[in-house]
Structures are given as structure tokens and as C-alpha cells.
Amino acid sequence: MDTTIAFAGSGLDRADHVRSDADKLAALMNWRARLLLLDGLDPVIGEDGALAWGTLADADPAAELVFLGLADDGRGCFAAVAPALVGSVAPPNPRLWQAMSTLPAGDLATYGGARSLVDWHARHRFCAKCGHGTVLAKGGWQRSCTNEACKGEHFPRVDPVTIMTVECQGKLLLGRQPRFPPRRFSALAGFVEPGESVEEAVAREIHEEAGVRVRDIMYVASQPWPFPSSLMIGCHAYADDPAITIDVTELDDAQWFTRDEVVYAMTGAEDGAFIAPPPFAVAHHLLKWWVARG
């Protein structure tokens, strides 16, 4: 399958050996360093259509600087967490949809990682163990509690989410959430819960949302999704009984679609049985993978 998946493939070297070395990190914070420019959590796009970068002098003097990694020329790349920044768990806004459609793949991946990290810092200024303030550590890949009696260490989290297509009798099960644009259907999805495997999460979510029992679950592809910080784990499963019972608190609708209907929707047509998920969503790649299997 096509492995060019949005938000994956950043060209930055994460340089883990730099994060924990205060001297090396400080040496990178010089006039050559690059600062990713953000408008809140949204990207700033340059005239060339790529991410806009500045210098560390462009950052709020009171901001915390997160180390994103090393550029190809060895310069340090950073993003700023401004004191007034408020984190967000909201889905992408219209401006972000546009940016995701036009940014070069490497830039989109760099932005996605930076957004997740900056957002996490903005939402974790206080210790979850004792409530005291926290400070950035290890170049932004840790926050440390300032309470000497606690000294809690906190790390950026990634939430695993299963997203899956289901096949039965040559048809594909897709659903639509209330927030989707009209007539758009996509793969079912849900968070992995504590104490369950990816396969168990796939089976549980499909049964909860659509009332369908599945078997022979397989992994297909994954995608980092920075809204706010998920890892979408794309899977495919099979069902023997096509009967659907929709959980109306989760879905507006769920239907089985024929291969021809999926093929036509994947052309980008809007007059078919449904409108396919956009190319930057891993659900699009799941449908593309299924169509290619013939």
C-alpha cells in the first residue's frame, strides 16, 4: 500500500542523545537555531507554501522552548510554549484542513509532532501527583514537578486509537459520526482501553458501535494524529453476519458498501453512494488498501 501517510515522515533527527545533555542542548540555542512559528497551535504558512520558521529571538522571552530535533544542516529546531497558550483537544478547524491539504509531507509531519508536544506542555503545567507547578526538562520531552517532596516526572503521552474497516460478503462496513460533513462515511474508530490488546479493542469497538461481531483481525497501517495526540492504528477485520445495530450515541449511520461503490467514492466523486474520507486521513489509506486487494 501507499506508505505516504499524513503526519508521518518528518525529516528532523529527533536526536535523543541531545535531549538529556544540557550542555549540548544549550549549545544549539544560538543564532543559527530555527524556531517553528505557530499561531496558537496552528501552523504559520510562508509565501512558498511551506512551514514558516524564525529564530529564537522571535519567541516570547517567557516562553518555554521545546527541542524538536536537528535539521539536515545540524541546526537545532525548536517550538515555543508561550505562557498564555491554552491547549486544545478540539478536532481540526477549517484553516487546519486547508493546511493539511497543501503542506509538503515532511512539513506536515514536523508540524504534527510539534503541535502535539506544545499542546501537551500547555495542558500539563501542574503536577498530576501533587498539584504543584512543573517545569520543562530534557528539551521538552519531560516535565518535572517543582515540589521537592514529590519530584514527579511526567512525559508526553500518546493515546492509541484503533480505526478499522470490516468486510462481509464482499462489502465494507463504514460509519458516519455526527460531526462529519454530509454524506461522508469513514472507518469505525475508538480508543484502546486499559487492559486490552489492539485486537480486543477492534472487536469491542465494532460491536459497540455497529453490533457486528468480527474475526481474523489484521494490522494494516498507523498514523500519528495530533488532535491532540493520538496514534491511529489501522486494522481490517471480517464478519460473518452483516446485521447492524447502531449505537446512536456514537454514530449517525452505518452501512455496508459494495466494492464498486467504494472504488467510485475513492475517485473523489461526490455523487456516489457516499463521500470518502480525505487523503490525509488513515481511513482513506485503509479504503485504498482494500480496493487494491481486489
* 3-state SS, residue 177: coil
Query: Greatest CA span in the chain, whole angstroms?
Result: 64
Per-residue pLDDT at 235: 98
What are the residue ranges spanned by the domains of the chain? 16-123, 159-293
Which of 61, 9, 7, 59 minimizes the C-alpha distance to 33? 59
CATH class of 159-293: alpha beta
3-class secondary structure, 198: helix
The residue count of the chain comes to 294
Tell me if 280 sits within 8 A of 9, measured CB to CB. no
DSSP for 168-198, please give it.
Answer: ETTEEEEEE-TTSPTTB-B-EEEEPPTT--H
pLDDT, position 231: 98
Question: Three-class SS of residue 209?
Answer: helix
**Amino acid in position 109:** A
List the pLDDT tens digit at each of the 294 positions of the chain: 445 799 999 999 999 999 999 999 999 999 999 999 999 999 999 999 999 999 999 999 999 999 999 999 999 999 999 999 988 888 777 777 777 788 999 999 999 999 999 999 999 999 999 999 999 999 999 999 999 999 999 999 999 999 999 999 999 999 999 999 999 999 999 999 999 999 999 999 999 999 999 999 999 999 999 999 999 999 999 999 999 999 999 999 999 999 999 999 999 999 999 999 999 899 999 999 999 997
Q: How far is Cα 203 from Cα 214, in angstroms, rounded to an integer?
A: 6
Helix runs in 57-197, H state only: 94-102, 105-122
DSSP reduced 3-state for 30: coil
Q: Give the pLDDT confidence score for residue 3 in this predicted structure.
A: 55
Per-residue pLDDT, 93: 77
